[in-house]
A and B are shown apart, each in its own frame.
Chain A
Amino acid sequence: MSQQGTVRLGADLSPEMQPIGEMVALCYQCGTCSGACPVVAAGGMDYTPRAIMRLLQAGMEEEVLSSQTIWTCASCYHCVVRCPRDIEITDVMTRLRNVALRKGYKARKGKVYNEGFMDIVRAHGRVWEAELVVRYNLLTNPLNFLKLAPVGLTMVRKGKLRFLPDHPQGRAEVRGIFDRLEGGVR
């Protein structure tokens, strides 16, 4: 879908944001997405999804890429199934996170979590939850370990925590996928 023919609301998006702008060109601001969003209901977004759509149409990418919303989206697709314009809002949020990471927007928690998660998959071929938790909290808020201790103990008691990672034999193949993907992973 091209943005041609839609009302021009403001500045043009930068080249890497253009495809994302095209994804939201059809939005007519009904707000169904924001009504469906459980994160909005929990007070977890600074801009509602509807507002993000409008900001993109207006070319205000600075606001969008530095928003809290793109990082608190739970990727639950509730907005997508209800959108009368069939906009892939969840994919828009994911693409925005990707651009924000590449452009170096400040998103400490999101960066540490998402890149850390994939570093672990790259290293082991599978996720190792224990490493993820330790790594994330060490790099964001080590004091959190105190708070996590009771839950950690419950998990150990219930045998829900692996002390060693799983190592599929093909983990070199998995690493190869990361290395060979176009443009690399970072």
Chain B
Amino acid sequence: MKYAYFPGCSQESTAEEYNRSLQAVARRLEGIELVEIPDWNCCGATPAATVNPDLPHALAARNLAIAEEMAAAEGTEMEVVAPCAACYKNLRKASHVLRDDPEMLARVNAAMEGHQLGYAPTVRHPLDVVVNDVGVDNVPVAKPLHGLKIASYYGCLLTRPEGGFDDPERPQSMDRLMTALGAEAVDWAYKTKCCGGAIYMTEEEISFKMSADVLAHAKAAGANAVAVGCPFCQLMLDLYQPKLEAIRHTTFDMPIFFFSQLMGLAMGLDRAELGLEKLVIAPFELLARTVDAPEKSTKPKKKRATKLKKWGEG
């Protein structure tokens, strides 16, 4: 299946490794092809609606209209895939609004030159595609992630507003993926608490408190790494982790992986394709004593993984 891929601004800068690892993984997954939407524009993030309520829908409409043109040229249906949780939410919301509100559709089409939106394609997150189109058991695992205890962090916009691919209060898709990759999925209370990324620039202190809470809970639950599907969550928890440690007078020492990087690791991809070197909290020591350690030393940990898995199923 071909998908119209909307990378989003962060995937070209702060989260280049997300883009790189996701594309590398997608190339190896059967039946998945990500075709970049040519000449895409910014989704408007949160500021667009503050400045003008119609603006996020109009900015999304141009991207969705180009995706429609791609699909027409291919002669097939094409859903849009957006890896950034903020882009995903903006495009998804716009797609719903523009399908239901002909007046809004007319307004944004009147504001566009060169493209016109018709049916507004469905918008999906790559985690949704992996879990529901590929299936977690069809991910070809070559090197199970034994020893990694992953706190799957969904943050706010991966599952909210409601109506997306997973439960907004108790999502499981990333946990299921992590278990399928051979890691231990840690159960924890803060998986859907917001990191505060959207207010970082204007309200640094509040956002740091929010992010520190997330890491403290992941650590207390016994995780040794966090998996995310959003460039802002990753930036807040990784780049600013030393600051979060300073305000909490503690050490987290917690690598923050994009879920696509963990997929690539488990699939045995060349690590240069995964951009692990770009993580600020370097994961190499953790990987050396877990995933890359001789099988013997990981045995006791395997046992615990089975135990927790049972709870999850029951």
Contact = CB atoms under 8 A, between A and B. Distances in A.
B302 interface: no
B251 interface: no
Interface in B1-55: 9, 12-16, 39-42, 44-55
B201 A125 contact: no
A170 B41 contact: yes
B193 interface: yes
B239 A72 contact: no
A36 B42 CA distance: 30
Contact of A118 (B9, B48, B54, B160): B48
Contacts of B15: 160
Contacts, number: 192
A75 B54 contact: no
Contacts of B203: 44, 71-72, 109
A78 B41 contact: no
Given A39-B206, A78-B192, A170-B62, A177 B111 contact: yes
Given A95-B53, A158-B280, A173 B112 contact: yes
Interface in A150-181: 151, 154-155, 158-162, 166, 168-171, 173-174, 176-178, 180-181
Interface in B93-117: 107-108, 110-115
Contact of B160 (A80, A110, A113): A80
Contacts of B199: 39, 44, 72-74
A95 to B, nearest CB: 7
B53 A94 contact: yes
Contact of A121 (B41, B108, B157): B41
Nearest to B214: A38
B240 interface: yes
Contacts of B49: 94, 98
Q: Which size class do A's interface residues fall under?
A: 35 or more
A72 B156 contact: no
A22 B272 CA distance: 54
A160 B202 contact: no
A126 interface: yes
B14 A129 contact: yes
A115 interface: yes
A138 interface: no
Contact of B51 (A73, A98, A129, A169): A98
Contacts of A44: 199, 203, 206, 209
A76 B155 CA distance: 8
A118 B51 contact: yes
Interface in A94-127: 94-95, 97-98, 101, 109-110, 113-115, 117-118, 121, 125-127
Given A115-B47, A158-B278, A180-B111, 16 more contacts: A38-B193, A38-B210, A43-B206, A44-B199, A75-B46, A77-B157, A77-B161, A97-B50, A127-B45, A129-B13, A158-B277, A160-B16, A162-B12, A168-B40, A173-B112, A176-B112
19 contacts: A42-B209, A72-B203, A74-B198, A74-B199, A77-B156, A77-B161, A80-B162, A109-B202, A113-B47, A113-B201, A126-B12, A127-B42, A136-B201, A160-B14, A160-B278, A162-B12, A166-B9, A173-B114, A181-B54
Interface of B: 9, 12-16, 39-42, 44-55, 58-59, 62, 107-108, 110-115, 155-157, 160-162, 168-169, 192-194, 196-199, 201-203, 206-207, 209-210, 213, 239-240, 243, 277-280
